[in-house]
Amino acid sequence: MATFEVSGIAAISSKDNRYLKLARSLAQKKYRGQHGLFAVEGKLGVREALRWTLEPEFVLYDAARADEPEIAALVQQAALRCSRVFAVEPHLLAGVCQTENNQGIWLAVRQPAMTAADFIAAVGGRNIAVLDSLQDPGNVGTI
């Protein structure tokens, strides 16, 4: 377990834990929509999600990597904005992550509600490309 101090961290050691089940379900679009959440995986993704005004719901991190400075810093940062922080066994986190070699941290974030007017204001007159139902990511290069 971690050597740093963050209040509210709980350990998960069962694959049947409700947060792990929810996290695994977010790999499928229908459950992301149903729960109003999306997953952010990896150090950079989690850092960026915490930097913006996104609402974190819960954090899972690899208990075996808790002493890594970057993981420790991200867990502490996440705990300031999220009351559900869980240290999980490495094999359980691997079952949640979609990458082959996960980076030890995973975050569930509330999907932001944005109206068309909000979107236009956020874009601020810049040119953008909106990609919907992209089947082949290689096609992005064509655009």
Q: What is the pTM of this model?
A: 0.77
Percent of the chain with pLDDT over 70: 92
Closest to 56 in 3D by CA, of 103, 110, 98:
110
pLDDT at 113 > cutoff 60: yes
Give the pLDDT confidence of 58-109 residue by residue, as tens digits: 999 999 999 999 999 999 999 999 889 999 999 999 999 999 899 999 999 9
Distance CA(60)–CA(107), nearest Å, equals 6
Mean of the per-residue pLDDT values for the chain? 88
Residues 102, 94: Cα–Cα separation, whole Å: 7
